[in-house]
Amino acid sequence: IIILSRLRGVDPHIVHLVSEIYRGITMYIVTEKGKTDPINICAGVRQGDPMSPLLFSLALDPFLCKLEAEGKGFHHGGFKVTAMASADNLVLLSDSWDSMSCNITILEIFCELTGLQTHREK
């Protein structure tokens, strides 16, 4: 997310601020025997953080640009529609199984490159 922020021209002060906010994040698990040692969190965005939807959108932007350029959607009102994205939800759209298969391939490649994971059952 930090690298993407720089590439997208986000003000360096904002990039630094986000880096500092996300530096050294830990969690622990409470068991019947007590708390575990701290566990470092090295990926993802904070659950419930008001900044998380914006950061996730920034992380998803390269995928949406690639899908717009190379994906297969359906045409409506002169526009090609390939996906709908909101907060941390994404819906791929197409007019045929072949088109959807193409879009899924683009998504799978993006996930492999970035480490993002999908939850198809949602």
Question: Average of pLDDT values for 64-92?
Answer: 88
Give the chain's radius of gyration (CA, Å): 18
SS3 of the chain: helix, strand, coil, percent, to 5:
45, 20, 40
Answer yes or no: are the C-beta atoms of 106 and 70 closer than 8 Å. Answer: yes
What is the DSSP secondary structure assignment for residue 37, as one 8-state letter?
P
Q: Which tokens hold the place of 38?
A: 């701290």
Nearest to 94 by CA among 81, 78, 107: 81
- Assessment of whether the complete model's pTM goes beyond 0.75: no
Q: Is 61 exposed, middle or buried (0-12, 13-18, 19+ CB in 10 A)?
A: middle
Question: Average of pLDDT values for 109-116?
Answer: 86
Question: Average of pLDDT values for 89-105?
Answer: 92
| pLDDT of amino acid 122 | 58
| pLDDT of amino acid 85 | 85
Read off the pLDDT of residues 5-61 as tens digits, 9 standing for 90 and up: 777 788 888 888 888 887 888 888 999 999 999 998 877 777 777 777 888 888 888
Question: Average of pLDDT values for 57-84?
Answer: 88
Read off the pLDDT of residues 4-21 as tens digits, 9 standing for 90 and up: 777 778 888 888 888 888
